Amino acid sequence: MRERVCFLLKVKADRLPEYRLRHENVWAEMRQALTETGWHNYSLFLRDDGLLVGYLETPDFEAALRGMAERDVNARWQASMGEFFEHLDGRRPDEGMLRLEEVFHLA
C-alpha cells in the first residue's frame, strides 16, 4: 500500500520562469535517487502566483525523506533550488514543505 502525499511551497514570483526551466531538465542522477528512495508518481504543479503543489505516492514518506537526505545529489539539488522559495527560514526546500492532510480519496 502506498501513502499519498501532497505538499505546498511558495516560489518567488520573480523566479517563476527560471524555476519552470530548471524542471525541464532535472538531473538524471536526481531522478534516479527519487525513484530509488520511494518517490513514485511524483508531480509538481505551479500556479502563476508561485503556489507550488507537490504530489507523490510512497510506501513510507518519512523513509523517502530520510533516503533522499542521505544522498549527495539531494544536497546539491536542494542547495541549487533554495533561492527560488519564500518562507524557508534557513531550511532546505525539502525541509520546508507544508504537508496537507488527506481528507478524501476516491479509489
Give the residue numbers annotated as catalytic, written as ranges. Answer: 23
Integer Cα distance of 61 and 12 in angstroms: 26
Cβ-in-10-Å burial (0-12, 13-18, 19+) of 55 comes to middle
Q: Which three cell numbers stand for residue 99?
A: 504537508
* 71-104 b/e (C-beta count within 10 Å ≥ 16 → b): bebbeebbeebbebbeeeeeebbbebbeeeeeee
